[in-house]
């Protein structure tokens, strides 16, 4: 019974002047929080660089897209591809993207701190929300791949923060920021609409929001948003809305209609994927006692609740209505506002003793994340898995061999690579010639391709599996078949020296010789 009384007393709402004073101490300043984020960023930049042997496919795909300037691509809008391509041109290495992914996560966590601190009026609340978010995989080991989902971590966070500041302070600078970040978020992934539309409802259904209609800031934000979005809308119209078709295919909307039972199963799966990742941050906050004082900022509370729950609820409704699926990586930016919501609900009381326990939980969890990540990428994927994941596909070896053979045979840079996403993106990324990718030999997937130019300048054609691609016969006797490339799975050199040789991957290859001299 004594233990039960202690537990009940721990969770009983309480407050004290000492706790309030401690919660505003400089230890919880944004500057100190930033230095923690900086150390976190270094950890998750360096460790993946030492563990992963090949570029992530989403990174290589964005480079292949960005190399061909478009206002949209067959899977996503344009911003992720443009940003990745610009970073690659400045630093042509896969390692820069581990850094870029952590910059995105750091910016998102900075927005978490600032939004929570401003809504609650407590530095400690911002600190607790930001640090507990480190226990969510999408802010650590699952954020090591610089893809559009990870980019959205930063853009969603700053969209909501700027929107909150704009409505509360009627600042033109904040309105412009809201327009920029909202536009870029939507132009990174259309899923951002699941955040932006619910936030927009606050302009109709709150007193603070309705006042904005009488001021110029909101209209300026809308104009900035449209400048960023309209070019993509035009591109979609010209390209048969191919990116939206891809999203529907990925959600399996093209499959036969699913029954209610299957839809409920999909909903439970998605809810489980989302809620299970909140167990650790919630457990870390339970270390604290609860405060009796509630946040007086009604608009701020509504914003955080809507930003945290609306995209998740809309995803469940999407599954229920359509029978489609919501893939786990799509949930990545949903977690940006989850710990602010937990802090608003639980109202942790700042005390020195419990904060030390909280910090210890973060440190132990971080150490476990590092160990599990190392095992997964150093040993399990390269040595134990039967299937070849993109992290161990021998992209560098294949690209270097093909480029070398092409140059020796034809005395010119390799202009095009034809094949599936994995082979084309890897060769585009690793080849010093950075050939243009021709995805699956389909111009609808590669609208930048001029088939006549491919015929004229030639290409390398790559495939895996026993059957050659159907389009190989389109080039008739011009095709030059090459010996198979048999390459080891990709792994980092230092660990290969310890663990020994890896299993091999076989890639088939052919040249389409150039017609011009």
Q: Cα(185)–Cα(180) distance, rounded to whole angstroms?
A: 8
Gyration radius of the chain's alpha carbons: 25
Q: State residue 462 phi and psi, 5-degree precision.
A: -130, 145
Q: 323-378, pLDDT tens digit by residue?
A: 888 889 999 999 999 999 999 999 999 988 899 999 999 999 999 999 999 999 99
Q: CA end-to-end span of the chain, whole Å?
A: 90
Q: 425-474, pLDDT tens digit by residue?
A: 999 999 999 999 999 999 999 999 999 999 999 999 999 988 999 999 98
Residue 99 shares a structural domain with residue 199: yes
pLDDT (0 to 100) of residue 466: 87
pLDDT (0 to 100) of residue 4: 37
Q: Cα(278)–Cα(495) distance, rounded to whole angstroms?
A: 33
Q: 264-275, pLDDT tens digit by residue?
A: 999 999 999 999
Residue 337 shares a structural domain with residue 422: no
Compute the average pLDDT of residues 156-169. 98
Number of continuous H segments (helices) and E segments (strands) in the chain = 22, 5
CB 90 within 8 A of CB 132: no
Residue 60 shares a structural domain with residue 117: yes
Residue 406 shares a structural domain with residue 317: no
CB 193 within 8 A of CB 301: no
Residue 517 maps to a domain: no
Q: How confident is the model at residue 19 (pLDDT cuts 50, 70, 90)?
A: low
Q: Is the pTM of this model over 0.85?
A: yes
Token pair listed for 173: 């600078």
CB 449 within 8 A of CB 443: yes
Domain that holds residue 441: 395-512
Residue 11 maps to a domain: no
Residue 13 maps to a domain: no
Whether 475 has a pLDDT exceeding 60, the answer reads: yes
Torsion of Cα atoms, 497 then 425 then 331 then 366, to 10°:
20
Token pair listed for 88: 């690659």
Residue 198 maps to a domain: yes
pLDDT (0 to 100) of residue 11: 45
CB 105 within 8 A of CB 158: no
Q: 385-430, pLDDT tens digit by residue?
A: 998 999 999 999 999 999 999 999 999 999 999 999 999 999 999 9
Q: Given CA atoms 289, 337, 37, 370 in this order, what sign does their dihedral have? A: positive
Residue 58 shares a structural domain with residue 173: yes
Residue 420 shares a structural domain with residue 364: no
Residue 322 shares a structural domain with residue 225: yes
Tell me the pLDDT of the chain averaged across its residues: 92
Which residues make Cβ contacts (< 8 Å) with residue 353, sequence separation at least 6?
none
Q: How many domains does the chain have?
A: 2
Residue 86 maps to a domain: yes
The Cα angle at residue 161 between residues 158 and 165, in degrees rounded to 5: 135
Residue 449 shares a structural domain with residue 364: no
Q: Which of 177-181, 188-192, 475-479 has the lowest mean pLDDT?
A: 475-479
Q: 51-110, pLDDT tens digit by residue?
A: 999 999 999 999 999 999 999 998 899 999 999 999 999 999 999 999 999 999 999 999
Nearest to residue 40, comparing CAs of 362, 269, 289, 316? 362
Residue 292 shares a structural domain with residue 334: yes
């Amino acid at each position: 019974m004594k233990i039960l009384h202690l537990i009940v007393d721990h969770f009983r709402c309480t407050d004290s002047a000492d706790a309030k004073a401690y919660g505003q101490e400089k230890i919880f300043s944004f500057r100190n929080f930033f230095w923690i984020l900086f150390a976190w960023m270094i950890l998750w930049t360096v460790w993946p660089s030492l563990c992963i042997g090949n570029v992530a496919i989403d990174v290589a795909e964005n480079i292949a897209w960005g190399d061909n300037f478009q206002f949209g691509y067959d899977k996503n809008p344009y911003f992720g591809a443009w940003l990745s391509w610009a970073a690659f041109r400045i630093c042509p290495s896969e390692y820069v993207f581990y850094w870029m992914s952590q910059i995105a996560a750091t910016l998102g966590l900075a927005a978490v701190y600032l939004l929570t601190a401003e809504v609650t009026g407590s530095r400690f609340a911002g600190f607790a929300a930001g640090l507990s978010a480190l226990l969510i995989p999408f802010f650590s080991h699952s954020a090591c791949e610089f893809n559009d989902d990870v980019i959205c971590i930063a853009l969603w966070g700053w969209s909501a923060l700027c929107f909150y500041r704009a409505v509360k302070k009627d600042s033109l600078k904040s309105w412009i920021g809201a327009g920029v970040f909202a536009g870029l978020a939507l132009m990174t992934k259309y899923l951002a609409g699941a955040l932006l539309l619910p936030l927009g409802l606050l302009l109709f259904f709150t007193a603070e929001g309705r006042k904005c209609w009488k001021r110029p800031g909101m209209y300026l934000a809308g104009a900035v948003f449209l400048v960023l979005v309209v070019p993509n809308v035009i591109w979609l119209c010209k390209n048969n809305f191919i990116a939206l078709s891809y999203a529907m295919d990925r959600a399996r909307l093209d499959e036969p209609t699913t029954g209610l039972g299957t839809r409920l199963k999909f909903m439970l799966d998605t809810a489980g994927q989302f809620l299970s990742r909140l167990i650790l941050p919630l457990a870390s906050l339970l270390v604290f006692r609860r405060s009796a004082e509630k946040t007086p900022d009604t608009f701020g509370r509504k914003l955080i609740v809507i930003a945290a729950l609306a995209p998740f609820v809309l995803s469940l409704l999407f599954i229920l209505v359509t029978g489609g699926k919501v893939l786990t990586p799509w949930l990545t930016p949903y977690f940006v506002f989850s710990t602010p919501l937990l802090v608003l609900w639980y109202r942790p009381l700042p005390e020195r003793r419990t904060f030390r326990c909280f910090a210890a939980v973060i440190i132990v969890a971080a150490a476990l994340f590092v160990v599990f990540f190392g095992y997964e990428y150093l040993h399990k994927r390269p040595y134990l898995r039967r299937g070849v994941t993109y992290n161990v596909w021998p992209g560098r070896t294949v690209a270097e061999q093909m480029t070398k053979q092409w140059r020796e045979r034809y005395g010119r840079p390799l202009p095009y690579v034809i094949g599936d996403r994995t082979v084309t993106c890897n060769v585009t990324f690793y080849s010093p010639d950075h050939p243009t990718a021709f995805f699956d030999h389909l111009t609808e997937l590669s609208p930048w391709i001029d088939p006549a130019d491919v015929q004229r300048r030639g290409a390398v054609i790559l495939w895996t599996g026993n059957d050659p691609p159907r389009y190989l016969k389109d080039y008739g006797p011009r095709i030059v078949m090459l010996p198979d490339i048999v390459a080891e799975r990709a792994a980092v050199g230092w660990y290969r020296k310890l663990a020994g040789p890896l299993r091999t991957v076989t890639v088939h290859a052919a040249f389409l010789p150039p017609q011009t001299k």
